[in-house]
Amino acid sequence: MNEIVTLDEFIIKRQKDFQYATGELTGLLRDIGVAAKIINREVNKAGLLNILGAAKVENASGDVVQKLDIYANEKLISCLQNSGECCGIASEENEDFIKVDGIDGQNGKYVVVFDPLDGSSNIDVNVSVGTIFGIYRRKSDKKGDVQLNDFLQKGSDLVAAGYVLYGTSTLLVYSTGNGVNGFTLDPTIGEFCLSHKNIQIPKRGNYYSVNQGYYLKFDVEMRRYIDYCCDMNLRLRYIGSMASDIHRILFQGGIFLYPNTRKYPQGKLRLLYECNPLSFIVEQAGGKAMNCKLNRILDIPTEHLHQRTTIAIGSPDMVDEMKSFVERYTMPPISKAEENAAI
Ligand code: AHG
Ligand code: MN
Ligand code: MN
């Protein structure tokens, strides 16, 4: 029989290989693993919760069943707050960051950022959702309170990142900058067990993933690239949960795109909570991630907590191909002379 390695055992074993080896980072990853198990339990009975919710509304008890993304947010925050291993939290669901008090007056040296439930519109129809997280080392003095600048770091400063997928099985994938590993939740023992060692993304794949309904809203260079994907008979898969779409691409190869549209001129997805952690994972697995202006996602300066970005991410050869379409088909800006001639 193969040896079973649980997430906790793996994290502890890896702690000594890690250049900043401290119990704090190990503890943080474990806290996230615990929150993921609690969220998983609720996700699995989401349909049931709706039934109970309806009954409660009728008996006028005043209890309102929380939307699952609020529930996931609260569980993650409370798991991280209780352990006191980080000094601050920023979540897609909260406008501002949250300060966390250390235990025995000792402030933690990490901050955690997350999208507690990614693709939450999938919940009501039993389709997979995820949790995405990133961990940064704080920059401000450990003696004082956590500062906004502790969160406004580039993706390349991430110390660890990962995601949890609540799908046909529940999987936690993470990296501390030394490869990517995946753990499947064994519900019979309630533990995440190592199931996918040293994940490597294929150089190219047969899938492209984009909301093709917005095709006419994309810039011409992106439309040309999508036309090319169609010409190449690539298969279109789009779940509406970035974590789930990236998960397929990580294992089977492909490209995920969320370009700018008229509604979202800067792109829709959040740099801090979605794009940076997933780009960190994809790069660690040998892939690439850039915005539609061809800047590496992990190098984009973070100016505010809820900053959005466009993104093209996935198999390295496919991202390079997308890049060549952008270089070839981007319209040059209209010059003053052309503008005047048009009047
Ligand atoms: P969230 O549920 O955290 O708001 O994220 C949803 C995101 C992302 O996961 C997904 O790829 C995208 O929004 C879907 O957006 P469209 O419906 O515009 O395609
Ligand atoms: Mn999301
Ligand atoms: Mn979300």
Tens of pLDDT, residue by residue over 28-50, are: 999 999 999 999 999 988 777 66
Tens of pLDDT, residue by residue over 225-255, are: 999 999 999 999 999 999 999 999 999 999 9
**Among 186, 162, 183, 198, CA closest to 8:** 183
Confidence band for 121, pLDDT divided at 50, 70 and 90: confident
> Catalytic: 186?
no
Tens of pLDDT, residue by residue over 317-343, are: 999 999 999 999 998 888 888 878 876
Ligand 1 contact, 242 CB (< 6 A): yes
Average pLDDT over residues 67-78: 93
Catalytic, out of 48, 52, 63, 101: 63
91 pLDDT higher than 60:
yes
55 pLDDT higher than 80:
no
- Geometric angle at alpha carbon 209, from 205 and 211, rounded to 5°: 165
Instruction: Please enumerate in sequence order all residues whose Cβ is within 8 A of that of 230, keeping only pairs 6 or more positions apart, or say none.
Output: none
| CA 94 / ligand 2 centre spacing (Å) | 13
Q: What is the pLDDT of residue 333?
A: 80
148 pLDDT higher than 50:
yes
Q: What are phi and psi of 312, to 5 degrees?
A: -135, 120
What's the pTM? 0.93
Cα(133)–Cα(276) distance, integer angstroms: 9
Domains annotated for the chain, with CATH where assigned, are: 7-196 (3.30.540.10), 207-329 (3.40.190.80)
Q: What is the pLDDT of residue 21?
A: 58
> Catalytic: 221?
no
Q: What is the pLDDT of residue 343?
A: 67
Ligand 1 contact, 211 CB (< 6 A): yes
Q: Pairing state of beta strands 160-166 and 129-137?
A: antiparallel
| CA 9 / ligand 3 centre spacing (Å) | 29
Q: What is the pLDDT of residue 45?
A: 82
Ligand 1 contact, 118 CB (< 6 A): yes
> Catalytic: 101?
no
Q: What is the pLDDT of residue 60?
A: 36
Average pLDDT over residues 90-105: 92
* Token pair of 249 as six digits: 């691409």
Cα(53)–Cα(17) distance, integer angstroms: 47
> Catalytic: 69?
yes
* Token pair of 278 as six digits: 């997933």
Tens of pLDDT, residue by residue over 152-205, are: 999 999 999 999 999 999 999 999 999 999 999 999 999 999 999 999 999 999
Q: What is the number of the ligand 1 atom nearest to the C-alpha of 92?
A: 3
Query: Collapsing DSSP states into helix, strand and coil, what is residue 259?
Result: coil
305 pLDDT higher than 50:
yes
DSSP 3-state helix, strand, coil percentages of the chain (rounded to 5)? Answer: 40, 20, 40
First vs last C-alpha separation in the chain? 78
- Give, in order, the Cα–Cα distances in Å from 233 to each of 207, 222, 229, 254: 9, 17, 6, 12
207 pLDDT higher than 50:
yes
β-pair partners for 191: 186
* Token pair of 223 as six digits: 């439309």
151 pLDDT higher than 90:
yes
